[in-house]
Amino acid sequence: MSATLPAAAAPPQRTAVDTHCPYCALQCGMGLRPGGPGAVPEVVEREAFPVNRGALCGKGRTAAAVLDPRLRLTGPLVRRDGELVPAGWDEALDRAAEGLARTRAAHGPDAVGVFGGGGLTNEKAYALGKFARVALSTSQIDYNGRFCMSSAAAAHQRAFGLDRGLPFPLEDVARTGCVILVGSNLAETMPPALRYLRELRENGGKLIVIDPRRTRTAEQADLHLAPRPGTDLALALGMLHLVVAEGRVDEEFVTERTAGWPEARSAAMAHWPELVERITGVPLPAVREAVDMFCGAETGMVLTARGPEQQSKGTDTVGAWINFCLATGRAGRPLSGYGCLTGQGNGQGGREHGQKADQLPGYRKLVDPAARAHVAGVWGVDPESLPGPGRSAYELLDALGGEVRSLLLMGSNPVVSAPRAAHVAERFAALDFLVVADVVLSETAAMADVVLPVTQWAEETGTTTNLEGRVILRRKAVDPPEGVRSDLHVLHGLARRMGREKGFPIDPEEVFEELRRASAGGPADYSGISYRRITEEDGVFWPCPDEGHPGTRRLFLERFATEDGRARFVPVTHRPAAEEPDEEYPVFLTTGRVVAQYQSGAQTRRVAELNAAAPGPFVELHPRLAERIGVAEGEAVAVTSRRGRAVAPARVTRDIRQDTVFMPFHWPGEGRANTLTNPALDPTSRMPEFKVCAVRVEAADGP
């Protein structure tokens, strides 16, 4: 009788860790199931998270690929004899601290700059701002979120007294009567959010999309308006003019809940419909149809994104759309309001807690004595020791190698992402000393004197704040490579070497607990939010002033966040872009993203599946323009502005205006779109004018 063989051992059960996508501001929920030894974890759906309900775009589905040690930094690098070579952590941190301290001693604290990123967790953004002001005593700190939604933030503050991307949860978008979507291509930039627009229409609501291109999002619309780049402000004012002229102002709402209407009305009435038609190129009947559609619904929302915001008049443009919402009574009421679709993963939280040049944690103003006293008390320093506001992001980059001699950079790649990028690269090259902490060797990191490899989303725990103002928790799911440490470890090590033994903990929950105290009583009050609550409630909306508070899902329903509770109309007037087409540069250039890449592409360009879908830059142009310059689909096109020249293959389509070309901005090299873009700044937000500049377009030699 043969022996019975034992049953094969069942494979160990691998439980997925609930976490969030590392990319856009949706911060989609996902699960991450660790693989076997040496294997990349598996991304799985997490249907219970209410924002995306399990849906993920290609970037989310492939997010775990960048965890592969072969695609990222796994140990520190220092520059020796002009080359970056491997080094130990102690040597790298010693050299970094010595370089920053040397500049500070020789040239003063403001000769040392700090540049952060909108992808840093709240804990890291908070610690970075504290490090700049306490350990370095420098005012020179800003972050790439200045390039994201700073114009919308400034307009929010002027009108409502508070800035949160959306004053309502995304679920409300599907239930309103009409949405005007200005300068956003959700289908490419945050695909899981497109379901809310589909559900809107399924529920009988209307969608109006305003974009110079007929994008995949515009194809979903009931009405698409294609204005000339840089004329969104005139369009908003023209629509408000029609609201007034046709007696569609909600007089009761305006009287009871707003201030400043007479001045804003007078400014709008100077933009009569025929003038607006000439400025924007949008036919007057289409403008009237948009007003009819919006005012004919009982509720409505205006949502903006980078199109109207990344302009030298972005704050006024957003302000005009807010005026339109206020005049029609579509604000401060259920299923109505103005909102901004934040771009970067933690674009909202990143600016709330101190890495922006003029702000302290809790969205407090750096110039407010009470705010300085509160935060200094939490930090255990004299309020007088805190420096004042510094330069905005582009102004800081422009000062590199001049008044700012050394720089600590975390989570950003300005050599690709900043406007006038060739000039920015020259400024980086002029620095005395550069320290970069990043996941990969980006184009900017490759210029550094010290490169510090840091953990990424799945290798660390920390909070982010999505576009709704929902504070969520990314949980650690896997261990990082042996030679990689967290940004909090980096700041702890640098601070200790610069004489600050305490105040920079490595544990993210300990940092968050301090952030709660620092934010208490501020506009962005997180004091009632804890890791436990976030876990139990699928995120908590701020403001949340105590642990018994439910969080604030919907803002402004009772009052606005101004002293008297009234929203403020701000009178605005259309003005041209900083650079309009002329005889030498006769075409508009506008820029944006494609679905398979993200921001400067530093991470997504390392993922094979994403590169197969979007392998490189291109120039999108209308067939008539292509015929005029003698290029066909796929042939090389040279695009030249006053700042430089870029070359990329032609993509010929009727889905763009004849006077406009479009380039995505994810790539370095000769196809770098930001070689061309204009750094002209909005006077209020200091946002560069990425979305509008004048170019010359011609056939280029070669393939």
Within this chain, do residues 283 and 136 fall inside the same structural domain, yes or no? no
- What is the chain's mean pLDDT, rounded? 95
Q: Is 561 inside a domain boundary? A: no
pTM score, whole prediction = 0.95
Residue 15 has a pLDDT of 87
∠ CA 502-508-509, nearest 5°, is 100
Q: Is 72 inside a domain boundary? A: no
For residues 12-30, give the mean pLDDT.
Answer: 88
Q: Retrieve residue 115's tokens.
A: 């540049």
Q: Which residues pair with 171 in a beta bridge?
A: none
Question: Does position 703 have pLDDT exceeding 80, yes or no?
Answer: no
Residue 5 has a pLDDT of 37
702 pLDDT band (50/70/90 cuts)? low
Q: Is 563 inside a domain boundary? A: no
Report the run of H or E that residue 99 belongs to, with start and end: helix 89-107
Within this chain, do residues 336 and 350 fall inside the same structural domain, yes or no? no
Distance CA 304, CA 381 (A): 40
For residues 319-334, give the mean pLDDT.
Answer: 98
Among 3-17, 431-445, 539-553, the range scoring the smallest mean pLDDT is 3-17
Q: What is the DSSP secondary structure assignment for residue 135, as one 8-state letter?
A: I
For residues 180-185, give the mean pLDDT.
Answer: 97
Structural domains of the chain, count: 4
Question: pLDDT, tens digit, for every residue of 476-516?
Answer: 999 999 999 999 999 999 999 999 999 999 999 999 999 99
Within this chain, do residues 59 and 89 fall inside the same structural domain, yes or no? no
DSSP 274-340: HHHHHHH---HHHHHHHHHHHHTSSS-EEEE-HHHHSSTTHHHHHHHHHHHHHHTT-SSSTT-EEEE
Q: Is 559 inside a domain boundary? A: no
For residues 123-133, give the mean pLDDT.
Answer: 98
DSSP 116-133: E-TTS-HHHHHHHHHIII
6 pLDDT band (50/70/90 cuts)? very low
Question: Does position 39 have pLDDT exceeding 90, yes or no?
Answer: no
Of the candidates 63, 59, 71, 70, the residue with the CA atom closest to the CA atom of residue 31: 63
11 pLDDT band (50/70/90 cuts)? very low
CA-based torsion, 351, 355, 356, 360: positive or negative:
positive
Q: Which single residue is written with the structure tokens 């709660």?
A: 516
Q: Is 551 inside a domain boundary? A: no
Within this chain, do residues 334 and 350 fall inside the same structural domain, yes or no? no
Q: Max alpha carbon distance in the chain (Å)?
A: 101
Within this chain, do residues 495 and 640 fall inside the same structural domain, yes or no? no
How many Cα atoms are found within 13 Å in the side-chain-facing hemisphere of 373?
Answer: 3
| Stated length of the chain | 703
CATH number for 677: 2.40.40.20
Within this chain, do residues 498 and 428 fall inside the same structural domain, yes or no? yes
351 pLDDT band (50/70/90 cuts)? confident
Give residue 26's identity as a one-letter amino acid code: L
Q: Retrieve residue 360's tokens.
A: 């302290």
Task: Give the domain extent around 44.
Answer: 17-67
Q: Is 549 inside a domain boundary? A: no
CATH number for 523: 3.40.50.740
Residue 134 has a pLDDT of 98
CATH number for 44: 2.20.25
Within this chain, do residues 330 and 354 fall inside the same structural domain, yes or no? no
Within this chain, do residues 257 and 357 fall inside the same structural domain, yes or no? no
Within this chain, do residues 124 and 192 fall inside the same structural domain, yes or no? no
Q: Is 638 inside a domain boundary? A: yes
Within this chain, do residues 644 and 610 fall inside the same structural domain, yes or no? yes
555 pLDDT band (50/70/90 cuts)? very high
Percent of the chain surpassing pLDDT 70:
98
Residue 149 has a pLDDT of 86
Q: Is 326 inside a domain boundary? A: yes
Which pairing describes strands 406-410 and 112-116: parallel, antiparallel, or unpaired? Answer: parallel
Question: Does position 614 have pLDDT exceeding 50, yes or no?
Answer: yes
Residue 37 has a pLDDT of 73
Question: pLDDT, tens digit, for every residue of 224-265?
Answer: 999 999 999 999 999 999 999 999 999 999 999 999 999 999
Question: pLDDT, tens digit, for every residue of 395-441?
Answer: 999 999 999 999 999 999 999 999 999 999 999 999 999 999 999 99
Question: pLDDT, tens digit, for every residue of 200-209?
Answer: 999 999 999 9
Question: Does position 368 have pLDDT exceeding 70, yes or no?
Answer: yes
Among 340, 364, 383, residue at a domain's last position: 340
Among 321, 340, 359, residue at a domain's last position: 340
Question: pLDDT, tens digit, for every residue of 52-100?
Answer: 999 999 999 999 999 999 999 999 999 999 999 999 999 999 999 999 9
Among 293, 322, 340, residue at a domain's last position: 340
10 pLDDT band (50/70/90 cuts)? very low
Distance CA 447, CA 451 (A): 9
Cis peptide before 76 (omega within 30 of 0): no
Among 103-112, 316-325, 349-358, 577-586, the range scoring the smallest mean pLDDT is 349-358
Q: Retrieve residue 546's tokens.
A: 């105590």
13 pLDDT band (50/70/90 cuts)? very low
Residue 641 has a pLDDT of 98
Residue 242 has a pLDDT of 98
Within this chain, do residues 276 and 368 fall inside the same structural domain, yes or no? no
Within this chain, do residues 185 and 317 fall inside the same structural domain, yes or no? yes
Distance CA 671, CA 457 (A): 29
CATH number for 213: 3.40.228.10
